[in-house]
Amino acid sequence: MKPPYNYGLSQEDALTEERALGLRAGDRLLCIASAGEVPLNLLARRDLTIEAVDTSPGQLALSRLKAAACRTLEPLEAAALLGFTDTSPEGRRRLFRRAAERLDDDDRRFWTVNGEAIDAGPIRAARFERYLGRFSPAVRTILGRRKLLGLFEQETLADRERYFDRRLSTGALKAVFKTAFHPALYRKRGIAEEGLRHVAEGGPGGFFYSRFRDFCTVTPAKTNYYLQFIFFGRVLFPEALPEYLGEEGLRRVRREHGRIAWRLASFQDVLKAGAPGAFNRFHLSNIGDWMGCDEYARLLELLRSRAVPPATAVSRYIHLDHPVPRSLDGRIVRMDGRGEELMRTDRFPFYHLVVMELR
């Protein structure tokens, strides 16, 4: 089965984005949809108006399916349909038929064509998650399932760091990272080639491994759905499910779903078409990893021209830290210390975080 989209899970921790943006009731957020976690998790926590945009029809179909699951299913049912937890293909089809009542004709056709993704669990059918799934068994073998589960018993940050250093740190694991994220293998199998345009020689394996200790230690394993899903291919504890699949979060999404508009469009096109002040919060995801320097500079100039201060923007990056253009000195101010502080408690700390005030 050819993957119908690149990502099954958005790779940003919406709790970090919420704090970085300083979100308050009534804010108007323009964000990248990706796999839907950022807009859905934020709606599950805040009274916002959200425009979630993406240039990938598949990513938007997945995002809308997650929203439809919230509107029609109970939390554990939605988790099973989407692939956060296990169930049979037949069980997922039954759940999908209920959720599909909230989808439009185009989305129903998309999932009819991609029925194998429903059978597998849609978040498991993405290119990136399928690719990681090839290496997760090796990680579990190297570290040992018992040792991994022992991480879930560590209560404090200090306990988790000691446990990682004594029981989980290993050179063999570093070799797996180097192999999995070597450009020759990772390119076109784990990520679209455009996403590696700024990758350093040798690939991002070394960088990912350097952040792996933080991934295992900065937050409790029992409440980190990223960690559980990457290690075990599913979420082990219900309390770790994304905010939009928690009892209260799902109810809020069900009640407020009309406050998210899902649009097939580029971030730039939405900014160009919008009036100044239409949004006061901006979530750029890691769009800069997919852009050249001049293109990203033009994006920031456009962003500042549409923002009416005070406004805030956040972006992430792995491969290239784009500077703020000189033409925007004093008008877009990076809060680098704030970004570093927030990443200390991020559930998926494999990115750098850039917090920007628009003045």
* Domain at 14-75+243-358, CATH class: alpha beta
The dihedral through the CA atoms of 135, 57, 303, 48 has a sign that is: negative
SS3 113: helix
Give me the residues of the chain with pLDDT under 50, please.
190, 195-196, 198
What are the extents of the domains in the chain?
14-75+243-358, 127-239
Beta strand pairing call for 332-334 and 352-358: antiparallel
CB of 44 within 8 A of CB of 252? yes
> What is the C-alpha separation between 344 and 53, in angstroms, rounded?
28
Cβ 333 vs Cβ 305: under 8 Å: no
Residue type, 35: A
Around Cβ 190, how many Cβ atoms within 10 Å?
21
Q: What CA–CA distance (Å, rounded) separates 340 from 83?
A: 32
In the numeric block, the tokens 């989808």 are attached to: 103
Helix (H, G, I), strand (E, B) or coil at 245: helix
Reduced to 3 states (helix: H, G, I; strand: E, B; else coil), residue 223 is: helix
Q: Which residues contact 201 (CB under 8 A, 6 or more apart)?
A: none
Q: Are strands 49-54 and 28-32 parallel, antiparallel or unpaired?
A: parallel
**pLDDT score, position 208:** 79
Q: Is 205 helix (H, G, I), strand (E, B) or coil?
A: helix
Q: What is d(CA 102, CA 99) in angstroms, rounded to the nearest whole number? A: 6
pLDDT for the residue numbered 195:
47
* Confidence (pTM): 0.93
For residue 357, list its beta bridge partners: 312, 333
> Is residue 290 a contact partner of residue 323, using CB atoms and an 8 Å limit?
no
pLDDT at 106: 98
**Tokens standing for residue 10:** 């958005």
Dump strand ranges (E) for 102-159.
none
List of residues 6+ apart from 51 with CB closer than 8 A: 28, 29, 30, 31, 260, 261, 263, 270, 279
Give residue 269's pLDDT: 97
